[in-house]
Structure 1
Amino acid sequence: MTCCLRAFFVCLGGLWLIASSLGIAQEPSYLKVQTNRLQKAQQAEQEALAKRDSSLLAEAYYLYGKTYSFTGDYQNAHRYFIKSLRILEPKGFSEELSRLYYRLSNIEIKQGHLTEAVRYGRYAMHIARSLKSDTALSRACIGLGQVYANIWTNQRPQARTSYDSSLFFYGEAEAACRRLKDSVGVADVYAALGELLASARHPQAATYLEKSLTLFQFKKKADILLKVMPQLAGIYLDNGQFDKAWQLLSDAEKQYKSRNLNDYDTQIGIDVQLVRYYEKTNQWKLAYERLRQLERLQNYAFRADHQGAITRLNVEYETEKKEALLKAQNRELMLRTETLQSQRRFTITLSLLLVLVTAMSLVFFRLNRRNQRISRQNEALVKEQNHRVKNNLQVVASLLNLQAKRLSDESARKAVEESRLRIQSMAIVHRRLYDGEKLAQIDLDEFVRELVQGVLKTFGYPALEPHFTIAPIPLTVDKAVPMGLILNELITNACKYAFPANDTPQLWISCRQRGVQLECTVADNGPGFDNTETSFWDDNVVVQRTSFGMALIDAQVAQLSGTYSFSTGEGGKGTLFSMVYKL
C-alpha cells in the first residue's frame, strides 16, 4: 500500500513538473507586500521629495527594494536597489553604500548568480574595511560567508576552499559583532554557521542553531527566529527526531500566520521542511499539497524570466556607468587643460612677484643694516653722553669734597658735604645708565642700595645694615634723579639727627608697586620730630619749611607729581616718611 501511494505521489509530481514546463500556471506568484513596510518607504520618499534630500531619497529606494525582496519580487527589489545605488555611489564610501551592496549580493544568491554575488559582496567588504566600521564589516562578512556557503553547496566536493572561506568570513563577522557587543548579530552568525555545518553533516550544526534560537528568543526577534526554526527542524529530521521537528515547524507556521509576515524566505523555509517531514512520516497527501504550495512560490519559469530581467538591468546599469565614466574623463581632461593654463599664468605671476620680493628684500636689507648702524652709533653716543655727565658730576663732587676739607667753619663744611652727596646721587644715576644694558632705565633696587650705602659710609655708618624691601622695578632718568635726591636728603637727616644718640641705629627702606603707582617709605628708630632741634611738625601738620633739605624734598616730589608725608613711628619714636607717585 505504501509503495502504491509513493508511486502515485511521484506520478502526480511528474505531471506537475510537465505542466510547469509547458507553461501551465506560470504567472508570477508573489507574496502580499506588508502594508507597514510599504507605507514606511512611501513616507520616506515623500519626505525626501519635499526636502529635496537625495540621501533620504536613496534610503526610500532602499526600503522599497527591501520590501519587495521579502515578497520574492526580486526584479522590483533589484530595480529599486539600483536606483538607490545611482544616488549613493557618487557620494563616496558610506555604511549605507556597503549595506546596499550586501543586499544586491543577497538577491544574486537567491537567483543563483553566485559570481555576481561574490562581486557585490567584495564591494561591500572593501567599503566596510575602508570605513573601519565593525557594523558594516559584520554585515559584509555574513554576506560573503553566505555566498561561499552556496558555492560549496552547489559545487562540492570540488569547492572545498569555498567551505573554508565561508567559515573564515563567519568568524570575522562574529568577531566584529562581539566588538560591538551585538548579541543579535552573533545570533545571525550562529544561524548562518549552523546552516553551513548542516550542509556538511557536521555534528555541531544543531548546537549553533540552538544557540542562535536561544539568543533570538531572549532578544524577542520573532521575525528572524522564524527563519532559524525550520533550519533546526531540518537537522532534527535528518537525525530522526520527528517529534522535535514537528514541534518547531508547527510553532513556526502558527507564528508566521498570526503575524501576517508574508516573508518569501521564511515561507519557503517552512514549506520545504514540512514537505520533508510529511514525506519521512509517509503523509503523502499532505506532502503533495505542501509541495503544490511550494511550487506556487518557486515558479521556475517566473524565476527564469526574472533572471533575464535582472541581467538586463545589470547590463543597463553597467553601460550607464561606463558612459558616465567617459563623460567624467572628458570633463577631467578639459579641467586638466584649464588647470595647466592656470598653472602657467600662476607661474609667470609668481616669478614676477618673486623678482619684486627679491628686489624689495635687498632694499629692506640695506635699510635695516643702515638703521642698525645708526642705532649702534646712537647707542654709543648716549653711553658716551652718560659717561661724560657722570664724569663731570664726579669732578664736581670731588671739587666740593676738596673745598669742604679746606673750610674751617663746621656749618659751611657740612653744607658743602651735603651738596656733594646730592651731586653724588645724580652721578650714580648716570653711572648706572652707562654701565647697564638699557640706555634710559636703571634698576631701582641696585640704585637705592648703592646710594644709601654711599651716604652711610660718608657719615661714618658703614657697618649699619639697612632693612631693604625693594621691588625690581626699572626707573627712567626723569624719575631716578628726583628719587635719588629725595633719598639722599632723608638718609642724610637720619645720619645727622636719628643715629648719633642711638646705640642701635636702624633704617628701613621700602619701595613697592601698587598698580601704576610706586609707594616708598623711609623709617628710622631715632627720637622723632618732637625731640630734635629741626622739628617743623606739630600734630602731623606742617608749620614751616625753612630748611633747604625740606624745600628740596618738596620740589622733587612735586616734579614727580606725587604726594608725601612725615609721621612719628610706633610708640612715639622714630620718623616715617611716605611718598606715592605714578610710574
Structure 2
Amino acid sequence: MPRFVTEIRYVCLFWMLISGLTKAQVPVHLHLNPVKIQKAAQLEKEAIAKHDSLILAEAYYLYGKAYVFVGDYRTAQSYYVKALRIQEPKGYSFELSRLYVRLSESENRLGRSTQALQYAYRSLKVAQHIRKDQAMALIRAYGALAQTYETIWSAQVPRKQSTFERTLLYYKKRELLCVKLRDTVGVAEVSLELGTLFSQVKDPRALSYLEKAQDLFTLKHKDGILVNTMVHLASAYLTFDKPEQAYQTLVKAESLYSSKKLTDYEIQLGLETQFVAYFEATRQWDKAFERLRKLNELERIRLLADRDGAITRLNMEYETEKKEALLSAQKKEIDLNAQNLRLQKYFSVVTFALFVIAAGMSVVFFRLYRKNQRISRRNEDLIKEQNHRVKNNLQVVSSLLSLQSKRLVDPTAKKAVEESRLRVQSMAILHQRLYDGERLAEVDLNDFIQELVRGVLKAYGSSAVTVHFAIDEIMLSANKAVPLGLILNELITNACKYAFPDNETPELWVICHRKGKKIELTVSDNGPGMDSPGWTDTRLDGFGFTSSKAIKTSSFGMQLIQAQVEQVNGTYQFSTHLRGTTSGVVFTMEFSV
C-alpha cells in the first residue's frame, strides 16, 4: 500500500475519532440477541428452582456467548469465570474443557496471550483425562492452542518460525481428528483457520483451504461462520492481487449478513475492514472514507461496550456480592444459632450428668465417711483398750519385780531385779508417750527424755541430781524411740551407780540435737570418770576403735546398749572429759532419723 494512502487513512481515522467525540450523536450499538439472552435467563431460573449448580453454570456459559457476539468480551469473561467457579470443583468434564476454550478465546481477543495460553493448556489437560466426548474436547483444545500461538506469532517482531510451526502443528492435529470423526463442520472450521494462517505468509495453499471452507459451510447452511469465511477469503484475494474476486466475495458476504439479520460484532468489523482495504487498493477514496467512518463507529462501539460492560459488570458483581454477603451472613447466623443450641444442649446434658455424678459421689462419700468414722472410733477404742492393757501389764510386771526385789536377800540378785524393773518402767513410760499423745506411734523426744531421766533418778533416790537438758523439738517413731529409751535407761542407771555416790554436787547433762537427717545424743556426768571400778584399762567402742580406757563390755547393760545401737544402725563411743576439777564420762551416739 502506497505511503500517502496510509497517511490518508490515519488522517481520516483521526478526524472521525475527533468528530465522534465532539458531536452529540447517539452511538449505534450492536444489540444482544434476545433469543440467546432469553434462553440463558430461562436456564438460570430453572437452575435456581432446582438448586442445580451445573444448570446454573450452563446458564452463565450461554450469557458469556451472547456477550461475545456483540463484542463485549469483558462482560462475557465475567460470566465465564462465574461458570468456572462452579465447574472446577466438580472435576474433569467436557463442559469444563469447553469453558477453558471460551476463556482462552476471550483472553485472546482482550490481548492477553499469556492467560489465553494457560486456559488453552488447561482445556487440553482436561480433554486428555475424560472419556465422554473426548475427541470433541480435544478438537476444541487443539483449536484454542493453535489460535493462541497464532496470536503470539503475529505479535512477534521478528516472527519466529518455531512459533509458526507450533501453530501449524495444533491446526493439523485438529484437522486429523475432524477427518477421523467425519465432522464436516469441524473440517470446514480448521480449513478456515489454516487458510487464514497461510494467507499471512502468502502461501498459495491459503486460497484452496478458504474456498474449501466456504463450500462446506454453504453445504451445512452455517450462515454466520460462512460470512466470516468469505471475509477471510476476500482478504486472501487481495493478498494475492485478485481485487475483483475480493470485491465480489465481500458483496456476497455483506448481502448474506444483512439478509440473515446477523449481529456478530467480529464479522461486521471484518467486513468493514476488508471493504476499506479493497477501496484503498483500488484508489476509490470516497468509498474508502465512507467505509472507514463505519469502521470507526464500530471501534467506538467497542470502546463504549467496554465502558458500559464494565459498569454493568461492576453493578452485577456488586449485586451478586451483596446477595452472597447477605446469604453468607444469614447462613453464619443460622449456623451460629444452631451451634449455640447444640452447645447449650450439650452443656445442659453435661451439667445434668455431672450433677447426677456429683450427687451419687456425695452419697457414696458420705456413706464411706460415716463408715470410716465408725471404723476410726472402733479402732480408737480398740487401741485405747490395747494400750491400757499393755500399760497395766507393764505396771503389773514392774510391781511384781519390785515385790520380788524386796524379798531377795542377796544384794547382787536384788540389784539385777531392780535394774530389770527400771527397764520395764522405761518401756512403760515410752509406751504411754507413744500412744496417749495426739500423734500415734510417734514420741516427742523432749518430754519423753525428761520424764524417763527423772523417773530413773527417782527410782535410785537421786532426785537431788541437777539435770541439764538441751533437746531439740524432734518427733521420733516407735521403732527408733524404744531402743533410745533402753539406752538412756542404762546410761542413767550407770550414772546413778558409779558417778553420783560420794558426789557432793552431782550433775547430769542430756543433749539431743538434729543434724540434717541424723540425730546426735550426748549423755555426760561429773563423776570420777573411767577411773571408777566400773571401767577397765582397755575398751572397744561400738565400732571397734580403741582409746586409752574402755568400759567392761562383758556386763549385761553394756551389751544391751551395743545391741540397741545396732538396731537403729547408729554409732556410739564413750570418752572422758573434765568439768572443772572433776572428770566425767561422756556417751555420744549418732543415728539416722
Q: What is the TM-score when the length of structure 1 is the normalising length?
A: 0.50
Larger Rg: 2
Q: What is the TM-score when the length of structure 2 is the normalising length?
A: 0.49
